[in-house]
Structure 1
Amino acid sequence: MSHMMSNAFKSAAAIVALAVATPAAAELELSFYLGTQTASDSDASGYLPDGTLFDRKVSWDGKSFDNPYYYGGRAMWWMDNGLGFGLEGTHTKAYASAADRAAIGVSRLEFTDGHNIFTANVMKRYPGAFDGSRFTPYAGAGIGLAIPHVDIQVPGSGRRTYDYETTGLALRGIAGIKYDLTEDWALFGEYQITWSDNDVTIKGDIGQPDGKLRTELVTHAVNIGISYSF
């Protein structure tokens, strides 16, 4: 895991350095979006602080429109050749079902403030793809880290896991289209997929060893947003 995270840091740093060092960068675009997000089922394995082992396929719910809401934003430096480099953060969410919580032996198991994905992105846009149109398609990918707010409660424990953790490598894929309202403002719609490898610490009571949970989370989202370029 540490080797993968080290490679993620190096890759992200290289993308950011390239963006900053590229003199051909012609435009900075800031984007903000909301949307609907789901999370695929995933295998969750590990052990509770009391040593109880678990290994189960968990059903996750995104609950995009429950507070705290799903949202995201990014900054992109676009060059004249249509390539862009930038940074993006997304507040995704994942709630384990009641049946899965009971089977694992916890009363709470969720990443809801949220399952935060931060990536350095490389993107490509295609102005003029539709002759005479204000529509511009784009696509891209990113690499970075998952930094979720972990919320886990073991029944009978006086200590709740309720904190941000850096849990592992994260990847992002994007495909969308934007519509220019003016020279500076645009609306866009897009599909996003994120993958993250999560190694989570479950806090034990004082004097008790911590537990562990490991799972790979995949989220799917359809976003609608607004961007400003200058």
Structure 2
Amino acid sequence: MRKIRSILASLVFIAGFAAPAAAEFEFSLYGGSQSSPHSRVSGTYPGTGATYNALIGWEGRSFEAPPYYGARATWWRRPDLGFGIELTHAKTYAPDAERTALGFTSLEFTDGHNILTFNVMKRWNDRFGRFTPYVGAGVGLAIPHVDVTSANGHRALGYQVTGPAARAIAGAKYDLTDKWAVFGEYQFTYSSNKATLPAGGSLNTDIITNAINIGVSFSF
């Protein structure tokens, strides 16, 4: 996870110098409850060349370590329009029975099914007092920590760039001061993942997450 945090910190640092002096910068941190609906998992089983295909009912387990969280940096180039970057540390676990039936002793993305996107944000400020509704959308990459072990002993453990990702956001923030605010939002992410497993194996799955987030933001 240090590698992902370093990427985000570097992007924030570089973009901070690139942003014009007149632009408002907003940094947000959030946590919440995240779930993932069923999706199909397919690929080549490690060490055998056999193929597999099954429907998995992913579990999110948002409040178990490591917890679900996210960070977003937005540069408001106009009062109502902003651009930025966002990293979400989501999680997906295959239930024990479904994973075992498929021939795996572990099947999860749990040190982050990390979604990194470049966002466009729209807000309606100065219309509802201290409340500011907003929406956003972004495209980027899925960078999960792949933790997959086959019953015959082959294990993939580490970060991989597995494919494209997208997100959509809708929420509202409440200003506590001219710099600090709290917010609540709904967030949707989609990723198309192709992970490499050892001994000629592979894993393909599209993962959707639905999340209710609560967070805090700082503007300057």
TM-score, normalised via structure 1 length? 0.85
Contact 1:25 1:78 in 2 (8 A): no
Whichever residue aligns with residue 50 of structure 2, its letter is T
Q: What does residue 157 of structure 2 align with? A: 162
- Rounded Cα–Cα distance in structure 2 between residues aligned with 1:103 and 1:25: 58
The secondary structure found in structure 1 opposite 2:209 is strand
Q: What does residue 40 of structure 2 align with? A: 43
Percent identical pairs in the alignment equals 53
After superposition, the Cα gap between the structure-2 partners of 1:22 and 1:185, relative to the gap in structure 1 and judged at 3 Å, is closer
CA-CA distance at 1:24 after TM superposition:
8.0
After superposition, the Cα gap between the structure-2 partners of 1:192 and 1:87, relative to the gap in structure 1 and judged at 3 Å, is same
Matched, 1:148 2:149: no
CA-CA distance at 1:23 after TM superposition:
4.4
After superposition, the Cα gap between the structure-2 partners of 1:125 and 1:20, relative to the gap in structure 1 and judged at 3 Å, is farther
Q: What does residue 32 of structure 1 align with? A: 29
Q: What does residue 4 of structure 1 align with? A: none
Whichever residue aligns with residue 223 of structure 1, its letter is N
**Correspondent of 2:81 among 77, 80, 83:** 83
* Segment of structure 1 superposing worse, 170-179 or 41-50: 41-50
Unpaired segments of 5 or more residues in structure 2? Answer: 1-13
- Rounded Cα–Cα distance in structure 1 between residues aligned with 2:67 and 2:15: 33
CA displacement 1:7-32 (0-9 Å, x = unmatched): xxxxxxxxxx9998674852000000
Q: What does residue 120 of structure 1 align with? A: 118
Q: What does residue 134 of structure 2 align with? A: 138
Contact 2:19 2:75 in 1 (8 A): no
Q: What does residue 220 of structure 1 align with? A: 210
Unpaired segments of 5 or more residues in structure 1? Answer: 1-16, 205-209
- Rounded Cα–Cα distance in structure 2 between residues aligned with 1:213 and 1:25: 46
- Rounded Cα–Cα distance in structure 2 between residues aligned with 1:109 and 1:20: 41
CA-CA distance at 1:174 after TM superposition:
0.3
CA-CA distance at 1:223 after TM superposition:
0.4
- Rounded Cα–Cα distance in structure 2 between residues aligned with 1:19 and 1:30: 11
* Segment of structure 1 superposing worse, 183-192 or 25-34: 25-34
CA-CA distance at 1:53 after TM superposition:
1.3
CA-CA distance at 1:91 after TM superposition:
0.2
Contact 2:148 2:157 in 1 (8 A): yes
CA-CA distance at 1:52 after TM superposition:
2.1
After superposition, the Cα gap between the structure-2 partners of 1:19 and 1:193, relative to the gap in structure 1 and judged at 3 Å, is farther
How many equivalent pairs are there?
207
Contact 1:87 1:120 in 2 (8 A): yes
The secondary structure found in structure 1 opposite 2:23 is strand
Matched, 1:202 2:197: yes
CA RMSD in angstroms comes to 1.9
CA-CA distance at 1:129 after TM superposition:
2.9
Q: What does residue 11 of structure 1 align with? A: none
TM-score, normalised via structure 2 length? 0.89
- Rounded Cα–Cα distance in structure 1 between residues aligned with 2:16 and 2:94: 38
CA displacement 1:193-214 (0-9 Å, x = unmatched): 000000011112xxxxx20111
- Rounded Cα–Cα distance in structure 1 between residues aligned with 2:120 and 2:188: 15
The secondary structure found in structure 2 opposite 1:100 is helix
Contact 1:189 1:224 in 2 (8 A): yes
Q: What does residue 108 of structure 2 align with? A: 110
Whichever residue aligns with residue 119 of structure 2, its letter is N
